[in-house]
Structure 1
Amino acid sequence: MEEIFHQKGIIILADLLENISLPFAAVYPDGRLVLCNNAFSALTGYTKEELSKLRLSGDFTPEEWHEQDEELRRVLRLTGRTQRYEKEYQRKDGKRVPVELFMHRACDADGNLLFYYSFVLDITKRKLAEKEIWAVYQRLMDIIEFLPDPTFVIDKDKKVIAWNKAMENMVGVEKKDIIGKGDYFYSIPFYGERRPILIDIIFNSDTSIESNYNYLKRCGNMIYGETYIQTFEGKGAYLWGKASPLYDTDGSLAGAIESIRDITDIKYAEEELRKSRDELEKKVQERTAEIRKANEKLMDEIAERTRAEEALSEARMQAEMYIDLMGHDINNMNQIGIGYIEMALETFNFDENARSMISKSLNILNNSSTLINNVRKIQQAKNGQLEQEMIDVGKMLGEVAMEYSSIPGKYVNIHYTPVYGCAVQANELLKDVFANIVENAIKHSCEPLEIQIEITITKVCYQDKVFYRISISDNGPGITDEMKKTIFDRFKRGNTKAKGRGLGLYLVRTLVNDFHGKVWIEDRVPGNSDMGSKFIIELPAADN
């Protein structure tokens, strides 16, 4: 009678579960199928008839799940508690499908086991989602692992769930020795004891934690802190940290992450920089004081120099006054004296000795006038009192040759072939350049030798610029190589019997320099200074 009732019960149960979408199956203790619905058949890919010939616990459950199935059935049989667990079915097409089972037992009135029945969930999508979540989680763990800054993560229970390589290197604690540990275990490598640190402020805003930090700043959810840990690594260190909360998909606090950086070297560098800055400021102040004193001394020197310049200017004005006095009054008196002496020589019949003495006096007065004229010309050249103009050098050389071709008591022969159209920028004093050189050649000649002077003018070019080269050579006693170096200097004279003040050639060089030219001396016969001299003047053409 009970067997009939049992069979009717199964039929009724099958009718009720046939059309529900949740897969359902019931099996006898030996694994044979009691019944299943269409959803279970679709899940496994077998027909009900095929399933009736299989043992569910062995034929399409992969072997690695057999031991788990047997243990769970044993627990269910002894306790009667529903067993919820995951496993895999192997479909008819050979593919595996992950499932979650809710397994129950059915017993008769005496408590004897009749069969097991299970509601089955296809958890393929859930497993894929879990796999994706795990992949993301693993990537995050990899990122944390290779962060350059020491970093660790705790969950909401304050247990360590990540401890990267940089953290291992920093504190010497491997992740295997700390993962899963809580109760502030993560603070021991730093402080040598369990205590709240920066990351714990995320869970608790206790000000006593914040007071342990020299610097603390909040920026949104992030907390930045800096502290000095005297016991760290036995020598103390400045550490900088950044902590941030972690939230789950519901927005609930799931944990926190903290990165730490040892900034001891930076702090020491900042201290050295501060000392250097203070030292620099001290030196700047000292140097500023020195500069101030130097400026005061300089101002005194400038004032003294100003006074000296004023005195020099006054002295220059007096010198110019004396030069003007010589150039005007004294020269006038010289000319009067020269005139009277010349009249005396022409009027009276002096004997030879008297005439010689009077002639020497006349020469002295003429030399005095020449000296005064040279001084005035040098003054004019130095002060730039004469404006430059276009001058034909060839024409001016012709005038000089004509003036000095006939000198009383001298045998002078000047060779010059006139050249015209050689224009330079100069002034009327250019004539004195040539006259001084020709006059020196005549004055320093050895009597009664006939004086031979040759003047030439040629065109030369230097770097696309045109110059006129004037050569004035003579057959006089010549100038030694040593004297060539200094003969243009002021008050320097050649080794001759002729008297003079040495201003003539100084005037020559001064004027040539003012005309942007050059002047030098060579031997008339190269290598033989006794055979006469050659003065060479180069002046830039006006076209330049």
Structure 2
Amino acid sequence: MRDCTIQNPQAKKIALASLLLLSVLMALVVNLYFGVDVVYTHVFYIPIICAGIWYHRRALWVAAGLGLLHIICDSLSAHHLTGASWMSALVFIGVALAVALISEKRDALYNELHKINQAMLDMVIEVDPDGIIHYVSPSSMNVLGYTPEELLQRSIFDQVHPEDLPSVKAQYDAALSGRQSLSLTCRYRRKDGIYSQIEAAANPLSDVSGGLESCIIRFRDIAKRKQAEDEVIRTKQLLADVIDFLPDATYVVDQDKRVIIWNRAMEDMSGVPKEEILGQGDYAYTIPFWGDRRTNMLDLIDVGDEEIDRNYKDIHRQGNHMSAEAFCPALYNGKGAHLLGVTAPLHDETGKRIGIIQTIRDISVLKESIESFEALFMKSPDAYMIMEIDRGVISDCNEATGIMLRGSREQIIGKTPDEVSPGYQPDGRLSSKAAAEKIAESLRDGGNRFEWVHQRLTGEDFWTEVCISTITLHGRSVLLVAWRDITGRKRLEEEQNRLMKELQRSNAELEQFAFVASHDLRAPLRAIESLSLWLEEDLAGILPAESAEHLWLLRERTKRMEALLDSLLEYSRIGRKKAEVVLVDTAALVKNIIDSLDISGRFAVTMTDLPCFSTARGPLNQVLSNLIGNVAKHHDLAKGCITVAAVQSDNLIEFSVIDDGPGIPEQYREKVFGMFQTLKPRDEVEGSGMGLALVRKIVEYNGGSVTIHAAEPRGAEVRFSWPLEIKGG
């Protein structure tokens, strides 16, 4: 592996030129002065061989030139051309060609070896029997961080870890003395001072006499490999830990069907500790399930087996993965259980199968649930259907569906939804297209509810309410369709719509009546009032006192009638016009009401926790004004107290108007909310009897409620709730 030839190109040129010059001078001198050619012709071989070694086939030109020189010199000395000189020239050319071919082959082999040497990841060194390094491959930089020159003439043992050195030396000496190959691992110091794990392989080389000449040693840094091996070990341990803590019972067997993993869930299910089963073969893993040794799902991975298949049902294959259900009678001390097993092969990184894994889940409760579902499904008074998602057909239905469609179960199964529907739905869409859209919505959202017109097998159309849900049945997704006949409800809705139209017409007539009452009836009342005044003026001095009192009563009745009309008009307008929502300070609102009623001198008014919030000012003002006005109107004492309070909850405010007046007897607390209702004769109290009726309608229209309670020690308390978000009627 050591090359002793001249490597410098310039040195080669100088050496070859010097040899040629000496050869030519020798030929001329010897031939001219001595007349002999034996010596110099042998000298010509030296530059020819060197040219062949260094310049390969270009040595032919050197041989040809020297041959021509030999022919010329020979002819000069002999005064004629001889055959010997021509033969010598041809020999020169032959020698040059032979050397060139050998050198080319040698250099090609050397270059190939050099490329291999350069490409090698391993470091290769040559040492003598004493362990002194004489050759180092370029890969030393990658393996140890040293250049080849830095390692030459150093001992191979210099970088060995002190703890490993005695063992390495002993193994090395034993290998050399026995002329045997050696392979060992040790810690070797890199240039950066770090000891790296090295794998070394040594091959002693003998000389021609059989003595030890040198030793070729290959160094390989296996630190990364060791890390990878450690990582594989950690990964395998992690995988084993993961499998061990899986909630599903899981076990793994190797290619010889010996148990290599048996997790905790499997211990709990089978009652067999892993210590008793690991390493066991000969179908020992089937005993806890079946009570004996037998083939099972693991044997169905590659090929089917009718005898094994009989123990399982709902077998599904996807590639070489398989799932199946079975009842295993030996589990849980002979009680048995329905199990779902999933089996798959395990492969290494090369794709070679190394084992089989099986995961098992107890589905006994699920099986019971499915059986209960199927029983309820068939016997339910409501109509149910099962639809296949992929084919879009009815795969099952219960008795109620047959009754609803006026057909047998056999007639219904296999039909599509549009086949039990009229051609078009009430909105004008094709039933087939509309059904596809509803199914797509159900799959997208996980369920759907809608109304649909179906058609009985006898040809009658009828309305249904349909509820579709996606469920898993026997391991596959299907659509559960629940539906009921709502023809009666649709008739009621139509009747309700008719009544609503009647109500709207009645409301329009009422509005027209209110308009007439407020305008057309008001004018005669004003005329009556004016006529009574004119009579009183015309008959002044002669009108009897009794007649004057009658005229006064006439005018009062006219005013009362006008007030009734105003209250009636106001009552009819509630809810027709939406009031503007503004920020309302209820304390300021109550103060304005007290001032407008001019009762501050008679009543002591207390306001407690009145809020400031956004609401319809007009309706709230009317409610509070009517309630406070009622207190002032019906109070039986010269002086009184009024308390207006509020309590706020999540979405409403409860107001209270409390007085210390005569109160309202319990039997009248609901009656007073009626229209034109008063507790005193109309001649004794001013008012239309519409105040509390207006209060209730405004409060209830806006989503609240109003009630009357007794106050202590006397008086009444009116409570009404006012939502924070109102309609504003």
**TM class by smaller structure:** 0.3 to 0.5
Query: Highest Rg: 1 or 2?
Result: 1
- What is the TM-score with the length of structure 2 in the denominator? 0.35
> What TM-score comes out, normalization by structure 1 length?
0.44
